[in-house]
Structure 1
């Protein structure tokens, strides 16, 4: 599980949904929350964002159509197995990806890559 500390910077609500902006050392994350009591959320509150390594999409090139939760990083370490590979990025994020798909990207340790995670795949702890 990836965990990053941050601060809530913005909150947009609509009925039982909330889109929360969280500023972390990596950048701004957008987190989609369902059935969240509005009184539990406040701008300026320290929080943590959590997301699974299996929920991260790894890309070799900049995603031109992705605007939220997409970041550039360098590959720090790769641990390949037959089926899955664990890719550790310099910003502290781990990505668990199918080895065959990772090999098709042609990435190596030290290469710059892009990664993203859907706003609905992030948990928020405040």
Structure 2
């Protein structure tokens, strides 16, 4: 599980749902939350939270400027690749922000992923969870 610390920078709410922006290092994540500042104490601007998403939800692209609807697009460098028979673990780093991606080994081979490759990590807004940073 990828768990990053961040600060809430913006909240837009409508009909019990909130679109929350969270800054972690130099990147701003978008997350959809089924709560509002009225129903969840941790949903306040400038509040510290944890940004959480599964490794299996991190999509890797070698196209450094994809025109797609995924809002969370972060430029990374491949730190390491651990190839397995079915799945591969890709460790990514951008400054001090490190995350992991787990993709099929077939996809890893098709992308020809290697250490020091420049890639974009993509995480759909609805796959990013938030929790209070206790």
- Which TM-score bucket, shorter chain as reference? over 0.9
Please give the alpha-carbon distance, in whole angstroms, between the structure 2 residues aligned to 1:37 and 1:104.
42
Q: What are the residue-to-residue correspondences of 1:107-126 with 2, within 5 Å?
A: 107-126=113-132
Query: Could you say which residue in structure 2 is the equivalent of 1:70?
Result: 73
Number of equivalent positions: 125
Query: Could you say which residue in structure 2 is the equivalent of 1:57?
Result: 59
Cα RMSD over matched residues? 1.2
How far off is 1:102 after superposition?
1.2
Aligned 8 A contact 2:17 2:36 in 1 = no
Unmatched segments (≥5 aa) in structure 1: none
Query: Could you say which residue in structure 1 is the equivalent of 2:47?
Result: 45
Query: Could you say which residue in structure 2 is the equivalent of 1:13?
Result: 13
Please give the alpha-carbon distance, in whole angstroms, between the structure 1 residues aligned to 2:69 and 2:62.
14
What do residues 66-118 of structure 1 show as CA deviations (whole Å, max 9, x unaligned)? 46210110000110011000000013100000000111012210110011101
Helix, strand or coil for the counterpart of 1:29?
strand
Helix, strand or coil for the counterpart of 2:107?
helix
Helix, strand or coil for the counterpart of 1:93?
strand
What do residues 23-53 of structure 1 show as CA deviations (whole Å, max 9, x unaligned)? 001400000011x142321100011100000
Does residue 106 (structure 1) correspond to residue 108 (structure 2)? The answer is no
TM-score, normalised to structure 1's length?
A: 0.94
How far off is 1:65 after superposition?
3.0
Aligned 8 A contact 2:72 2:125 in 1 = yes
Structure 1 runs of 4+ with >4 Å offset: none
